[in-house]
Amino acid sequence: MISFPEHIQKTMPYQAGKPIAELARETGIEESAIIKLASNENPLGMSPRAKQLAMHALDDVSRYPDAHGFNLKLELSKRFSVPDQWITLGNGSNDILEMVASTFLQPGTAAVFSQYGFIVYGQATQRVGAEAIVVPAKDYGNDLEAILAAVTPHTRVIFLANPNNPTGTFLPAAEVEQFLAAVPAHVVVVLDEAYNEYLPQELRFDSAEWVRKYPNLVVSRTLSKAYGLAGLRVGYAIAQPHITDYMNRIRQAFNVSNVAQAAAIGALQDEEFLQQTYASNRKGLEQLIRAVSALGIEYIPSYANFVLIRIPQANAVYQALLSRGIIVRPVGVYGLAEWLRISVGTEAENEAFARALEHALQTLKENGNG
Ligand SMILES: *Cc1c(COP(=O)(O)O)cnc(C)c1O
């Protein structure tokens, strides 16, 4: 008989947003007619420069990628003014989160994170047999005081997303910095900034500066969201070298493909595309909020590229939207059974969503379920 370690038996699979091709197979709706607002992807696609460099890199796929990602790290180290040894590349930032868990956690230790924190924090912790300490949220966001209070001598890692997914809440720089200064030295803080590029200029802060100041800080970023490279899987961490040394020992040597490394360089260099993405998202977020407000729907103000809206009949509305070719994200696994998370799409996609939502709610009402 094969036996599975207890912590593996308790590990749950990740529930991703429904892929477009899957809904097409299930409903017969053309893939091109399906709108996916479920995984916080960039509705504008990818930067043309990223695409150009990726296509060029295809000529070399018979070779292994550069295991040290020299050129990509060079690009990042210029951008953040940190030495390249401070950077760790990941197969998406998910990989970074897993690396942190594998580097610092083991049975008998604990990781602390917030209720409504990114689902991967719990999974990464569970996978290595450590204990997850989940701290109640405050107004759907991270409660820094409570997170600090939950730290014990066994705590090795704190996972903190800012802005937070799936709630879209944000903690200002001053609060985060005060928190970093108060975290005990034996605890590594992972500041997950997957949505940093969507913050308005006045809310941005220099998290690389914090890495210089706090030797227990790991800043995690991704090319999957604003940079539009979700399918290529590139993320990175910035931390001091006593941390990155060990993360790189456990990292799979070829975790980021040569095509992905090339595309990431192109994406980072294309400031114009990033600006377009930012502007399109601000407009789209306002558009979605106007639409749900007009329907009298409660929502959580968002600092990212998605918005969480309160729909008491979330599952019925999710299904009704699917039948009209629109994929959004149920968040029941987060304990938010009455909410749906809507990623910001293009203007036309947001409009189509708003009309389908209105129709779905109307139908529910007529059937006496509203
Ligand atoms: C999307 C997301 C990530 C990771 O995405 P990758 O594609 O693995 O880089 C990490 N953290 C949060 C909070 C996210 O929402």
Alpha-helix residue ranges (DSSP H) falling in the chain: 6-9, 20-27, 48-57, 70-80, 93-104, 119-127, 144-149, 173-182, 207-213, 241-250, 258-269, 271-294, 314-323, 347-366
Number of Cβ within 10 Å of residue 316's Cβ equals 17
Which one of 116, 171, 192 would you pick to mutate in the ligand 1 pocket, going by the greatest count of ligand atoms within 8 A of its CB? 192
Q: Is the CB of 224 under 6 A from ligand 1?
A: yes
> What pLDDT does 198 receive?
98
Full set of structural domains in the chain with CATH: 6-45+272-366 (3.90.1150.10), 48-270 (3.40.640.10)
Which amino acid is residue 16, in one-letter code? A
Question: What DSSP letter does each residue of 192-244 carry, written as one string?
Answer: E-TTGGGS-GGG---HHHHHHH-TTEEEEEESSSTT--TTT--EEEE--HHHH
* CA of 336 relative to ligand 1 center, distance in Å: 19
Q: Which secondary-structure segment (H or E) carries 84?
A: none
Q: How far apart are CA 38 and CA 50, in angstroms?
A: 23
> What ligand 1 atom has the least distance to the C-alpha of 95?
8
Number of Cβ within 10 Å of residue 345's Cβ equals 25
* CA of 228 relative to ligand 1 center, distance in Å: 12
**Which residue, judged by its Cα, is nearest atom 12 of ligand 1?**
194
CB 298 within 8 A of CB 309: yes
Q: Could you tell me which of 35, 49, 9 has the C-alpha nearest to residue 228?
A: 49
Q: Which secondary-structure segment (H or E) carries 300?
A: strand 299-300
CB 127 within 8 A of CB 12: no
**Which residue, judged by its Cα, is nearest atom 11 of ligand 1?**
194
Which whole-number Å values give the CA distances from 287 to 228, 240, 340, in the listed order? 21, 41, 17
> What pLDDT does 143 receive?
98
Q: Is the CB of 235 under 6 A from ligand 1?
A: yes
Q: Is the CB of 90 under 6 A from ligand 1?
A: no
* CA of 294 relative to ligand 1 center, distance in Å: 31
Q: Is the CB of 41 under 6 A from ligand 1?
A: no
The pTM of the full predicted model, rounded to 2 decimals, is 0.96
Q: How far apart are CA 349 and CA 236, in angstroms?
A: 30
Q: Is the CB of 168 under 6 A from ligand 1?
A: no
Mean pLDDT, each 10-residue run in order, the chain (370 residues): 90 87 95 97 98 98 98 98 98 98 98 97 96 97 98 98 98 98 97 98 95 98 98 98 97 97 98 98 98 98 98 96 97 96 98 98 83
* CA of 105 relative to ligand 1 center, distance in Å: 20
Q: Is the CB of 207 under 6 A from ligand 1?
A: no
Per-residue DSSP letter, 163? S
Q: Which secondary-structure segment (H or E) carries 140?
A: none
Q: Taking each helix axis from N to C terminus, what angle separates 314-323 and 347-366, rounded to the nearest 10 degrees? A: 120
* CA of 223 relative to ligand 1 center, distance in Å: 9
Q: Could you tell me which of 39, 37, 69, 21 has the C-alpha nearest to residue 263?
A: 69
Please give the distance of CA 212 from its chain centroid, rounded to a whole number. Answer: 24
- CB burial class (10 A; 0-12, 13-18, 19+) of residue 364? middle
Which whole-number Å values give the CA distances from 276 to 38, 199, 288, 349, 361, in the listed order? 21, 14, 18, 17, 33
Instruction: List the Cα angle 78/218/334 in 5-degree steps.
Output: 125
Which one of 40, 88, 91, 94 would you pick to mutate in the ligand 1 pocket, going by the greatest count of ligand atoms within 8 A of its CB? 94
Q: Could you tell me which of 166, 158, 148 has the C-alpha nearest to residue 125?
A: 158
> What ligand 1 atom has the least distance to the C-alpha of 233?
7
Which one of 224, 305, 334, 341 would you pick to mutate in the ligand 1 pocket, going by the greatest count of ligand atoms within 8 A of its CB? 224
> What pLDDT does 354 receive?
98
Residue 294 in tokens: 């007009």
* CA of 235 relative to ligand 1 center, distance in Å: 8
Q: Could you tell me which of 343, 349, 316 has the C-alpha nearest to residue 329?
A: 343
pLDDT digits (tens, 9 = 90+) for 79-89: 999 999 999 99
> What pLDDT does 44 receive?
98
Task: Say which residues have a Cβ less than 8 Å from residue 50's Cβ, sequence separation at least 6.
Answer: 227, 228, 229, 263, 264, 265, 266, 267, 270, 273
> What pLDDT does 369 receive?
61
Task: Say which residues have a Cβ less than 8 Å from residue 12's Cβ, sequence separation at least 6.
Answer: 123, 126
Q: Is the CB of 325 under 6 A from ligand 1?
A: no
pLDDT digits (tens, 9 = 90+) for 239-250: 999 999 999 999
Residue 273 in tokens: 């595309």
